[in-house]
Structure 1
Amino acid sequence: MSKLTSFSLIVFILSVSIYGVFQWHHEKAPSTNNQVEELLPDYVAESLSTNIYLADGKLSHIINAEKMEHFNESNTTFFTEPNYTLYPKNTSAPWKVSAKHGTLNHNNRVRLESRVQLVATDEDSLVQEIHGKYLELDLNTNILSSDQTIMIEGKDFIMYGSGLIVDLNTTQMTLTEHVQTIYKKITP
């Protein structure tokens, strides 16, 4: 066997071996098609508007969103531009909550993020608006909470702090850390 034939045979065997290793690794790697399918929502809704009622027929809350994507496997729903109108059990005046993004989990808890705003529809309410980056809402109890920095606007004041718990049914509010309150001057 000549040197050229031996060299050609070695290159051929090396090429076949490398090709075999690549094929073996390709078969072991998870398919990207399956990964893409797992990331696709089970259903999507645009311009969503939904009314949710309690067992006794009373309106619990209304959900409006620009877009909603639901994933059955994780039982999670993602919202774009969610707007909730919440009807507390003990009062007739609803509250409105909006954000840029929202995530509803299987336990009926909504995580609202980015430009979160809670607004009282009752003009006589002491607290008119609450603003923050993050709020978590329990739709079963109508309790909102946040461990982030928030701003509370009232009739004649603006309050800054962090750590907030608001029970919309009793309108009781707890602020964990108070930073500053600015009172507006009332002129007669």
Structure 2
Amino acid sequence: MNRTTLAICAFFGLALVLYWQVQVKRNAMALVVDTRIERPDFVADDLRTTEFNKLGLVESKMSAKHMEHYAKTHTTLFTEPVLMLYPQNGKAKWQITAQNAMLEQLTNQVSLHNDVIIDAIDIEEPLQSLETQQVTFNLETMIGHSEEPVIIKGNGFLIKGLGLFADLNVEEITLLSQVEGTYEPH
């Protein structure tokens, strides 16, 4: 063999060894799991769930397009949730929809985010719908609050304000500030 052939063989051999080392390192990096990223303990699509109180009465119903539960942090994330709330008398009065929600099991609070709409089930209810970008409800007390702008629509009236306090058991909703409204008598 001449020197040129030997140099070409050595060059390709070196290239093969370097390629092999890169592949070994790439495969080793693919196996490394980042422990800082929490993975859901379980995931569900097209979820439907019903929660009962101590007396066996329905307390809430929730459906969602997608759900992820994280046991370590005791939180559950929902995509496109629909929440039906049943105050103390046991009849569904409110349906809440949003783009996202997070349920914290330790505090039994659900926070709904992005295009939150609270609709009355009964068409005779004076308050028909409420719109905001974020609201948090305690599922035990049925008390909710928000710091975001709120629009309330009802039979013959429209009210806008900033911030919200709602007690669904006694059917009271209070706008906290900057309240403006219009009323159209029938």
Taking structure 1 as the reference length, the TM-score comes to 0.78
Q: Give the C-alpha shift of residue 178 in structure 1.
A: 3.6
Code of the aligned partner of 1:78: L
- 1:184 deviation in Å? 2.7
Please give the residue correspondences for 1:39-50 in structure 2 after superposition, counting only pairs within 5 Å: 39-50=38-49
Kept in 2: contact 1:91–1:169 (CA 8 A): no
Aligned-pair RMSD on alpha carbons? 2.2
Structure 2: how far apart are the matches of 1:122 and 1:167?
A: 17
The one-letter amino acid paired with 2:93 is: P
Taking the aligned partners of 2:87 and 2:156, their CA distance within structure 1 comes to: 24
What does 1:9-158 align with in structure 2 at a 5 Å threshold? 33-35=32-34, 38-90=37-89, 92-106=91-105, 107-158=107-158
- For 2:59 and 2:110, how far apart are their aligned partners in 1? 14
Task: Give yes or no for contact 2:84–2:92 (8 Å, CA) kept in 1.
Answer: no
Deviations 1:18-72 (A, max 9, x none): xxxxxxxxxxxxx983326843211000000001111111011101000000111
Q: Which residue in 1 is equivalent to 2:9?
A: none
- Maintained 8 Å contact 2:111/2:135: yes
Secondary structure, counterpart of 1:68 in structure 2:
strand
Indicate if the aligned counterparts of 1:47 and 1:65 stay in contact, CA closer than 8 A.
yes
Query: How many percent identity over aligned positions?
Result: 31
Alpha-carbon distance in structure 2 between the residues aligned to 1:39 and 1:124: 46
TM-aligned CA deviation for residue 163 of structure 1: 1.2
Q: 1:85 aligns to what SS in structure 2? A: strand
**Structure 1 runs not aligned, ≥5 long:** 1-30
Secondary structure (helix, strand or coil) at the match of 2:32 reads helix
CA distance in 2, matches of 1:109, 1:168: 14
CA contact (8 A) 2:59 2:90 kept: no
Tell me the distance in 1 between the aligned counterparts of 2:132 and 2:120: 15
What is the Cα deviation at residue 179 of structure 1? 3.0
| Contact residue 143 and residue 165 of structure 2 kept, 8 A | yes
Task: Give the counterpart letter for 2:39 in structure 1.
Answer: L
Contact 1:61 1:87 in 2 (8 A): yes
Return 5+ residue gaps in structure 2 as ranges. 1-29
When normalised by structure 2's length, the TM-score is 0.78
Distance in 2, matches of 1:112 and 1:99, equals 6
Q: Number of matched residues?
A: 158
